[in-house]
Copies of this chain bind each other. A is one copy, B any other.
Amino acid sequence: MTFKAKIRVTLRPSILDPQGKATHHALHQLGFHGVSDVRMGKYIELTLDAASVEDARAVVAEAGAKLLSNAVMEDVSFDLEVVAS
């Protein structure tokens, strides 16, 4: 089966986010005064083959923990969809 994993890597709430702060400031300058907070993260789409949903989930979780994120500063979450069976 072929899966597409949609992975979100976000900074933990306690970690300062200067890029988000700069984006927030720029949005205010552009007139977006309703925006009260901005947090920047990474979005990764993985296409992978696996025998089952459980296998795919395990692979994506391991890849997320080992390579795609920094466990000290970041959280990982993902959704999985079947693109071919």
The yes or no answer to A72 lying at the interface (CB within 8 A) is no
**How many Å from the CB of A68 to the closest CB on chain B?**
7
For A, the interface residue count at a CB cutoff of 8 angstroms equals 34
B residues in contact with A16, CB < 8 Å? none
Dominant secondary structure of chain A at its interface with chain B: strand
Question: In the complex, which of the residues B30, B40, B42, B47 contacts A35, with contact meaning CB atoms closer than 8 Å?
Answer: B47
Q: Which residues of B contact A26 (CB under 8 A)?
A: 67
With A23-B67, A30-B67, A67-B23 as contacts: A44 and B39 at CB distance below 8 Å: yes
- A36 to B48, Cβ gap below 8 A? yes
Chain B residue contacts of A6, Cβ below 8 A: 8
